[in-house]
Structure 1
Amino acid sequence: MSINSNYTLFNEIKRLNGPIYNVCSEAPPHIVSDGLWGGYENGRRPMKSFLILFELQLVIIFALTQICSFLLKPLRLPQFLPEMIAGLILGVSFELKPLDTYMGKIFPYGTHDVISTISSLGMVIFVFINSVQMDFSLITRTGKRAWIISIIGLSVPLCVGFIPLLTLPGIVQAIQKLHGGNGVMVAMLSHSLSQFSTISSLLSELQIQNSELGRLTLSSALVCDILTTVISTNFVALMTSPDLTTLLRNIFLLYILFVLIPLVCRPIMFWIIKHTPEGRPVKDSYIYVIISMVFVLGILSVKINQEFVLGVFVLGLSVPEGPPLGSALVKKLQFFSTTFFLPIFVTTCVLKADFSMDFSSSMMVYTGLAVLVTHLVKMAALFITVLCCKIPVIDALCISLILNTKGVMEVGIYNSAFDDQVINRKIFGVMMISIMIIATIVHWSVKLLYDPSRKYAGYQKRNMMRLKRNSELRILVTLQKQNHISAATDFLDLCCPTQEKPITVDVLHVIELVGRALPLFIHHRLQRQALGSTSSKSYSDDVILAFDIYEHDNQNAVSTNTYTAISPPNLMYEDVCNLALDKDAAIIILPFHIRWSRDGGVESDDKKVLRALNRRVLEIAPCSVGILVTRANSMPKPTLTTSITLEYSTTRLAIIYLGGNDDDEEVLCLAKRMMNNPRINLVVYCLVSRKNIAEVEELMVIGDEMLEELKHAENVRYQEVFTENGSQTASFLREIVNEHDFFIVGRRHETQYPQTDGLAEWSEFPELGAIGDFLASPDLNSNASVLVVQQQLSRANDLKRWIL
């Protein structure tokens, strides 16, 4: 078959023996075109110029991937799958007669190498980013379960697959002769591995990397990835060295690479962090130096017959994960790798494959069987191993599925094998199809089987009402910023902790995960016991110190435990709900995403993280929830008298009660705790509508114990207020808003309450409820803080659905 030079980037092309061509091109090559008219005179036509053709190819690939992504979005496929389907469509277009001429002009002979080389930068940066996000120290800190799962998941399929091939060399030679390569061995080896980057991407898409299952799976994948890298690099050095001298040289330089990069580059990274002022970004010059090191170490890896990405991977592991350096590198490179270059790389890789498959061919049968058997063996081995680790059946099945998934990293591995002529185009096509099928099955199966919120479903009540009189109150306080500390301690003071009515406070400091792949959850009391009193600087030193002091000031009345959770913003609720469930908390206190100053101005507004966290916790919390709306300096502080003693001002606390609602009953439980505080002036406003006055009188006859106790308490003022609609309620709240320092109100007051009729229509923040939103409005010009309480939601219907 001859190729017309007019449909290539070359001046002349001549076929030699086999698939080898002798081409003639100008030096330097045509990079930029001279336009439609001038190009025809001197040969610099647009379709004969590398840059113009490259830009046209990028536009076509980008448009096709976006169209595929849009059309396939309802199927909820893995994110990289539309990119592979775009390459499949382009590859099939070459075989269709009406389109082959146009495709030959757009993707002429000689351009595949250009676009593949340029887009390979995306793969290199992708590997670097993922290695930066790895916490290599987790290898020494991870539990036995992760090591057992990873080692068995790696060794069992390799042994089952390769022992017959090694014991029967005749069969191996016959298979290689039929395949024209090492397709079966490549299939068995590659499908036995678990790539950390692939699994991390899948868990991120499914939003479960913060769950217990996600943490265990990531730890196992990290161990497997490191073991695979060490074994494969030694194997490559052994197989690619022609003599003993070269072998010893390559092995020596390989271990120099493994040792020298961490010993030299990591101290440099810490020097950069040390010379970066706190709260300031890392200088761009440092970032550019590190990026230059990426490509230098990649070239050095090639010089010792290793893959280009080896040096990149080791350098990424040497970068301290998280802020400021790790997060800065991820932010700088994320767009160029994941968004721009990587999709082009995936599409062009699939474009190389031959999908004209003959299912009667023995090559198809052997390769398909190798892939199928390897995955079945690996799934069975992982499933049994995970079950032996005392993990539930559904979770064990999900872990075995996730550790079998394939993705972008496998596309790059098979592309390298194809470029090195280890496998041919047909086997390469089989591998691409296997990646698409396996990734789809795993993605759908895990999404169907695993719901991380199901652990919160149950019939056990966890709220203030279930607590017995004078029993211990467990509160989970969630913080993100430093100004949340004082607001939290002010609320704890209102709860009146005493030796007779103690409070246990679990404090969770949530931090956004940036520049890391593995979420962290730190129990600081256990950390200090393990490291001693002279531990290294923590992420939450100010939080730990503040609550240690608070516990010391309230000895035998308050017990505090401080935790830090570093996780993605969309998964922070998992840490909050998990801790509340584990600690059997009665109520979770969350900071509101807006903080106002005394003059009514907004001091901070964090809708992206805090508001999303609050709304998600309200939906699935295993206990009651309170959202604390804080005004700057709203709570009275102690004053210094002439006798050098502290006198506390009285806190004017108001309870807004509508009656007959679970949230209002939770509010009354809090009020019962607070009325014992001598520094609190408590007023209970019972808002009553004349339309349902008969129901209120009936309630009084029956006798609501909590309300009656508050009504007749000496230090509590009870007041009934008649309001017929939301407008009258709003007018009354405007009258009393400046008479109080703190309000507590229930969240859920549905439309059947005449007292709130119309208020919800003007509500800006539904998570605060109608009355809570009105009290938190800056239009009131008030300095009073507000606590909006929601009692634990009933999840019996959810539990029934999950069981069915």
Structure 2
Amino acid sequence: MSINSNYTLFNEIKRLNGPIYKVCFEAPPHIVSDGLWGGHDNGRRPMKSFLTLFELQLIIIFALTQICSFLLKPLRLPQFLPQMIAGLILGVSFELKPMDTYMDKLFPYGTHDVISSISSLGMMFFVFINGVQMDFSLITRTGKKAWIISIIGFSVPLCVLFIPLLTLPGKVEAIQKIDGGNGILVAMLTHSLSTFGTIASLLSELQIQNSELGRLSLSSALVCDILTAIIQSNIVVLVTSPDSTTLLRNLFLLYILIVLIPLVCRPIMFWIIKRTPEGRPVKDSYLYVIISMVFVFGILSVKINQEFAIGAFILGLSVPEGPPLGSALVKKLQFFCTTFFLPIFVTTCVLKADFSMDVSSSVMVYTGLAVLVTHLVKMTACFITALCCKMPVTDALCISLILNTKGVIEVGIYSSAFDDQIINRKTFGMMMISIMIIATIVHWSVKLLYDPSRKYAGYQKRNMMGLKRNSELRILVTLQKQNHISAATNFLDLCCPTQEKPITVDVLHVIELVGRALPLFIHHRLQRQASGSTSSKSYSDNVILAFDIYEHDNQNAVSINTYTAISPPNLMFEDVCNLALDKVATIIILPFHIRWSSDGEVESDDKKVLRALNRRVLEIAPCSVGILVTRANSMQKPTSIKSEYSTTRLAIIYLGGNDDDEEVLCLAKRAMNNPKINLVVYRLIAKENIEELEEFMVIGDEMLEEFKHAENVRYQEVFTKNGSQTASFLREIVNEHDFFIVGRRHETQSPQTDGLAEWSEFPELGAIGDFLASPDLNSSASVLVVQQQLSRTNDLKGWIL
């Protein structure tokens, strides 16, 4: 039997015996072609050249993947599923008579190995990146809950499912003879695992890796993945070694590899970090050396009968996670691995499967039952264990689902098992179907069941107005950059902390998560108590030092706790709101995303992180929120609050009729007790609505009575007809003050601001706040925009989606 050479890359192919073929081709093979109109004499035609055909296949796979992704986007499926469906479509096309001729020309015999081998680089680097993003030291710091859930969730299904293997060995052996492989055993083993990379990808897509459930799931997956890698590598050595001498040699070399890579490579990594100046990127030459080491250790792994990715995984674990080195490697390889080669790898893996399912086949039935029972047992074990750990029922169900999910890692495992002839094509096809079904069920179920924002629903009112007189004020200050520190401490001075009116400040330093998979939350006071030293290196040394000094300068009046949250930019709001909820904060102070110089030039603009953070916090915060707009030299003026003989000119813009304005007055009442503050309260009154607002003005007068009679407060009523007159008035006074406090007046219309909102560039600042923050005013004054806690219903799900 021979294969038509027109549908291959070779000159001739003859089938000799079973799956063995005699292949004839020219050496060296045709890599590039001579074009569409050339190559007929020398054979360098496009469809007979490896590189040209490979490029054409990449275009087809990429286009089909993108089409599937676009069409399936409304279903909100896992990101890798369109890649598998593209492979399924191409695989089915080979079986369709009208399409098989074209598919044989596009994917001729001999090209599958080429594209699979090249795209396998994407899988190898994906495993390497997962190792880089893991914090291996977290194994020693992970709580008991993660260890218990992980170990029980892994061991119980194996113990339960190995019972029939031990009690009915003859029946299992007969089924495996029909199967021609070990499909049932592979199904039970692999579906009992929880892989870190798969779970990290799922939580990232669902945007819950920053939640309590996400952190626990990642910790459990980390424990399971490390234990599985150790067990699997030892089993591979035992199974593949033909004699005791080879067994001992491979075991010895395996442990040499496990010990040698961290002992030799990790110090080299720290040397690279030490040689990199702070704030500067790592040199590309260092990165290329590390990437070359991935290939070297992959080859060494194959030499001792291990998977080529095991060396890359160990090397990844040896890389210090996070910036500068870990983040640089992730950024360098992210596009090459995740975006380009990995989707091709997934598609070509599915392309190899046989989806002609025979329902009557005992092998298919028993393999399907093994998969189903494994997942049911694993889910039950994880669910009961989570309940015993005093988790809520919904959270326990969600974590059992998350730890059962499957993804790209499992596709690679089954592809490797198929290539090693451990399972056949039909079993491989069934495993691919099981991955798609399980991933979809878990993705939809967790998205439906788990809502991190539900903890804020029905939460009690926490705002300035609700505080009793002379009671402690709890403030959460959020920072991202060093220049936010001085602005935050100046605001704290405005709150006039004293022994009679103390304030408690929780300072949260938010850092973008890069080069790590596990979000990190650090309580620095507890960290120092645990280490017994204040000299341990921290992510937020400058922040800690600045606020320690501030606390020392305000003894018995200010109590400060500092925290660091390292998380994805789109989930930083969870850290802020969770901490505000836990610490019963009254108000959250957020930095504005733009920093202007005195001449109106933009010095920094962090729209991607800070603006998204501010807008999310404004929506779901469990207390009041203030956005602090700071100009570059406003804190360097001689009228600084901290100057011994100077005063700060503070202005309050009050319109009335809104909770935000009442919150502003509460802050002003605290500021008026500071003798170094000259306070001016401007009350803007609409001319045309005086008669209609007489009743309200009586109520307003009651709130403003204290300001009207205070010696160090100047109270002024300003009559304005519309937003244009308000803008003119603000232009007149803007350079007379160092600091403004205004209300955001969310979704409230008033004659005084009529027309201002239409020109508003930043709605999160409100109409007046946006106008005062405009660089067109050439002002050096800071602005604090305050929003009182929003009233919410119990259903907040729509805000988070």
Amino acid at match of 1:542: N
Q: Which residue of 1 aligns with 2:96?
A: 96
Amino acid at match of 2:231: I
Q: CA deviation at 1:280?
A: 1.1
Separation in 2, partners of 1:589, 1:800: 25
Separation in 2, partners of 1:772, 1:97: 68
Q: Which residue of 2 aligns with 1:105?
A: 105
Identity in percent: 89
Q: Is the 8 A contact 2:3 2:12 kept in 1?
A: no
> For each residue in 1:291-324, what CA deviation from the matched residue of structure 2 results, as whole angstroms up to 9, or x when unmatched?
1110110111111111000111000000000011
Alignment of 1:418-457 (within 5 A): 418-457=418-457
> For each residue in 1:81-103, what CA deviation from the matched residue of structure 2 results, as whole angstroms up to 9, or x when unmatched?
00000000000000111110000
Separation in 1, partners of 2:297, 2:574: 39
Q: Which residue of 1 aligns with 2:772?
A: 775
Q: SS of the counterpart of 2:246? A: helix
Change (3 A) 1:75 1:227: same
Q: Is the 8 A contact 1:669 1:706 kept in 2?
A: no
Q: Which residue of 2 aligns with 1:504?
A: 504
Matched, 1:760 2:732: no
Separation in 2, partners of 1:534, 1:582: 25
Q: SS of the counterpart of 2:158? A: helix
Amino acid at match of 1:590: L
Matched, 1:15 2:21: no
Output the TM-score relative to the length of structure 2: 0.98
Q: Which residue of 2 aligns with 1:792?
A: 789
Q: CA deviation at 1:800?
A: 10
Matched, 1:691 2:675: no
Alignment of 1:47-196 (within 5 A): 47-196=47-196
CA RMSD of aligned residues (A): 1.5
Separation in 2, partners of 1:241, 1:488: 64
Q: Is the 8 A contact 1:636 1:648 kept in 2?
A: no
Amino acid at match of 1:492: L
Separation in 2, partners of 1:567, 1:711: 47
Separation in 2, partners of 1:140, 1:463: 40
Matched, 1:619 2:619: yes
Separation in 1, partners of 2:737, 2:30: 78
Matched, 1:575 2:575: yes
Q: CA deviation at 1:647?
A: 2.8
Alignment of 1:461-472 (within 5 A): 461-472=461-472
Separation in 2, partners of 1:36, 1:88: 30
Change (3 A) 1:33 1:753: same
Amino acid at match of 1:356: S
Amino acid at match of 2:712: N
Separation in 1, partners of 2:396, 2:702: 48
Separation in 2, partners of 1:465, 1:324: 45
Separation in 2, partners of 1:37, 1:322: 52
Q: Which residue of 1 aligns with 2:363?
A: 363
Matched, 1:665 2:658: no
Q: CA deviation at 1:418?
A: 0.3
Separation in 2, partners of 1:301, 1:671: 68
Q: CA deviation at 1:163?
A: 2.2
Amino acid at match of 2:573: Y
Q: Which residue of 2 aligns with 1:398?
A: 398
Separation in 2, partners of 1:800, 1:299: 49
Q: SS of the counterpart of 1:40? A: coil
Q: Is the 8 A contact 1:459 1:794 kept in 2?
A: no
> For each residue in 1:243-275, what CA deviation from the matched residue of structure 2 results, as whole angstroms up to 9, or x when unmatched?
111111111111111111100000000011111
Matched, 1:677 2:674: yes
Separation in 2, partners of 1:90, 1:489: 62
Q: SS of the counterpart of 2:41? A: helix
Q: CA deviation at 1:602?
A: 1.6
Q: Could you tell which deviates more after superposition, 552-561 or 534-543?
A: 534-543
Q: Which residue of 1 aligns with 2:31?
A: 31
Q: SS of the counterpart of 1:561? A: strand
Q: SS of the counterpart of 2:261? A: helix
Q: Is the 8 A contact 1:658 1:687 kept in 2?
A: yes
Q: SS of the counterpart of 1:510? A: strand
Q: CA deviation at 1:799?
A: 6.1
Separation in 1, partners of 2:560, 2:690: 45
Amino acid at match of 2:749: Q
Q: CA deviation at 1:759?
A: 0.5
Separation in 2, partners of 1:520, 1:242: 46
Amino acid at match of 2:598: R
Change (3 A) 1:275 1:482: same
Change (3 A) 1:37 1:600: closer
> For each residue in 1:548-592, what CA deviation from the matched residue of structure 2 results, as whole angstroms up to 9, or x when unmatched?
000000000000000011111111111101100000000000000
Q: CA deviation at 1:514?
A: 0.7
Q: Which residue of 2 aligns with 1:715?
A: 712
Separation in 1, partners of 2:167, 2:275: 59
Q: Which residue of 1 aligns with 2:739?
A: 742
Q: Which residue of 2 aligns with 1:478?
A: 478
Q: Which 5+ residue runs of structure 2 have no aligned equivalent?
A: none
Q: Which 5+ residue runs of structure 1 have no aligned equivalent?
A: none
> For each residue in 1:346-385, what CA deviation from the matched residue of structure 2 results, as whole angstroms up to 9, or x when unmatched?
0000000001112222222111111100000000000000
Q: Is the 8 A contact 1:637 1:649 kept in 2?
A: no
Alignment of 1:316-335 (within 5 A): 316-335=316-335
Q: CA deviation at 1:42?
A: 1.3
Separation in 2, partners of 1:24, 1:340: 32
Q: SS of the counterpart of 2:360? A: coil
Q: CA deviation at 1:596?
A: 1.3
Q: Could you tell which deviates more after superposition, 167-176 or 330-339?
A: 167-176
Alignment of 1:550-629 (within 5 A): 550-629=550-629
Q: SS of the counterpart of 1:536? A: coil
Separation in 1, partners of 2:588, 2:388: 35
Amino acid at match of 1:781: N
Q: Which residue of 1 aligns with 2:243?
A: 243
Q: Which residue of 2 aligns with 1:384?
A: 384
Q: Could you tell which deviates more after superposition, 422-431 or 745-754?
A: 745-754
Q: CA deviation at 1:646?
A: 6.2
Change (3 A) 1:500 1:253: same
- Number of residue-to-residue matches in the alignment: 798
> For each residue in 1:703-751, what CA deviation from the matched residue of structure 2 results, as whole angstroms up to 9, or x when unmatched?
6543222222222111111111111111111111111111000002545
Amino acid at match of 1:10: F
Change (3 A) 1:271 1:724: same
Q: Which residue of 2 aligns with 1:345?
A: 345
Separation in 2, partners of 1:326, 1:38: 48
Separation in 2, partners of 1:760, 1:151: 57
Q: CA deviation at 1:533?
A: 2.0
Q: Is the 8 A contact 1:635 1:741 kept in 2?
A: no
Separation in 1, partners of 2:251, 2:636: 70
Change (3 A) 1:791 1:52: same
Change (3 A) 1:338 1:259: same
Separation in 2, partners of 1:194, 1:628: 44
Q: Is the 8 A contact 2:458 2:794 kept in 1?
A: no
Separation in 1, partners of 2:596, 2:35: 60
Separation in 2, partners of 1:622, 1:774: 27
Amino acid at match of 2:21: Y
Q: SS of the counterpart of 2:691? A: helix
Q: CA deviation at 1:167?
A: 2.7
Q: SS of the counterpart of 2:230? A: helix
Alignment of 1:174-253 (within 5 A): 174-253=174-253
Amino acid at match of 2:663: E
Q: CA deviation at 1:632?
A: 2.2
Separation in 2, partners of 1:649, 1:523: 36
